[in-house]
Chains A and B, each alone.
Chain A
Amino acid sequence: MIRGSWFDSRFTINDSRNTNNDMEKALRQKAEELLEKGDVKVVLGYGWNRGKTRTTPVFITKPEDVEKLVFNPLCVNNLSLYLTRQYKDIQALGKPAIVAKGCDIRTIAVLIAEGQIERDNIVIIGMTCNGVVYKQELWKGKLSDDIMPTKCHNCDVRNPHLADYIIGDAVDFMPPEEPSGMVFDKIKELDTMEQDKRWEFWMEHFARCVKCYACSKICPLCYCERCIAEKNMPQWIETSAHPRGNLAWNLIRAMHLAGRCTFCGECERACPTDIPLNLINQKLAKEINDAFGYRAGYDEKEHPPLIVFNPDDQEDFIK
């Protein structure tokens, strides 16, 4: 594994946060070139916040602004969110290029499969990646296994797929055969629990839900013009933050992402009450992979698995 060496040698954030590493240099060059040639009208990328403590999305429209682009393990956000129909102002700028890690590209692939973006209408600048931090507050200047989220430990797209350009050296990393890490360990633990204990576990978590819908707002795949939660004729999901409606909301949110969720983890990161949404999403992702042999975000031409079928689908509970 070369994770350590890569960061040690090229990315020592403590010394000079402004120093361009090779990747940033290449990224800025590519962005400049694309903007100058007029291939794209805007580059969606990462930039520093004011205090340079975390990264924030930046939308570069002028070649001279490309210096604002950065890339480092703090680039956690899934920028594909800004390709969706909710961000009409960004769409109005014209054809975008997007700075995307492999995991982000998985989301883009689903968006393409669902007709939300046309492949020819975006330029994907794929960034090779050695992992990001689980939470930006955990960053002490050096990436290590313990501050990486579960998705990075199991990532098989560190060398981005479907990209128009790839920035960075190829990464040599083999994810474990069986998904592992905090999320999957917890899923296993829950699976072995008594059913009523599982119920207690989830009701405790859902009781905290304040129905802020941050999970849905940040999810690039929750792109509906009108969310089912906003529908009031009939009102399937109760609006108040009340245990019954909270459960309904979380169940339906999970169902709507079943077979589509690419495990970017943004929902859980955005949740102000720390509901472990990754557990639900990944439980379903695993079931769908087991049952239908489908993993979201690898093939931009394949339809999501819950709107297609195979006459030979197997189950043992329909009597």
Chain B
Amino acid sequence: MPANEMSVMDNKQAITEKQETTTAWEPKITAFVCNWCTYAGADLAGTSRMEYRPNVRIIKLPCTGRIDPLFIIKAFEKEADGVLVSGCHPGDCHYTTGNYHARRRWIAFKTLMEFVGIDMRRLHFSWVSASEAIKWVDLINNVTDEVKELGPFVEYKGLND
């Protein structure tokens, strides 16, 4: 069986299992993706009728270079249980260098988030190209499952009280 079919099958199985055991809580995952690679990759997952966990809500930006750490912080403030950031692979940026800028920013931001004690299983960074629908599907499933296992982001939500 080709790899992608397998992955789709696995997902189907996994999803039905999940649905059976689903309790009331479902994680909320905000994804910031670039228009040219990851958004198109997610579209391809759709046109290929792949299946993945429904917890993610995509916010489309032109480029990962446009993604400000403020977005991620705000997403957590708005009770996201997990945040995902994704764009073109290094070297493939539609704007030639946007993801290189983003990568530098993320290296610093990830260090900072880790240092203040954010569980990095709640903040994911990825490169997904326009052709990597399977990677997108796996990524969303993995992130969703990981966050689901962690449970609601009570630490951050606790700041609201």
Contacts and interface: CB of A to CB of B under 8 A. Distances in A.
Contacts of B155: 196, 199, 203
Nearest to A234: B74
Q: Is the interface of B mostly helix, strand, loop or mixed?
A: helix
Contact of A243 (B103, B104, B115, B159): B159
Given A309-B97, A311-B90, A319-B125, A202 B117 contact: yes
Contacts of A317: 106, 110, 120, 125
A309 B159 CA distance: 35
A305 B105 CA distance: 9
A259 B100 contact: no
B41 to A, nearest CB: 14
Interface stretch (A102-110, A133-141, A210-218, A284-292): A284-292
A306 B125 contact: no
Contacts of B104: 291-292, 305-306, 308-309, 313
Contacts of B69: 251-252, 255
A236 B125 CA distance: 22
B112 A284 contact: yes
Nearest to A191: B115
A254 B74 CA distance: 16
B36 to A, nearest CB: 17
B103 A247 contact: no
A190 interface: yes
A307 interface: yes
B100 A309 contact: yes
Nearest to B109: A255
B7 to A, nearest CB: 16
B117 A199 contact: yes
B135 to A, nearest CB: 9
Nearest to A311: B100
A44 interface: no
Given A255-B105, A309-B100, 10 more contacts: A195-B114, A198-B115, A228-B70, A244-B77, A248-B77, A259-B108, A288-B108, A291-B107, A311-B91, A318-B106
27 contacts: A191-B115, A196-B119, A201-B117, A203-B155, A228-B70, A236-B70, A236-B73, A244-B77, A244-B159, A247-B159, A248-B73, A251-B112, A252-B69, A252-B70, A255-B69, A258-B108, A258-B112, A259-B108, A283-B115, A291-B108, A307-B101, A309-B101, A311-B91, A313-B104, A317-B106, A318-B127, A319-B124
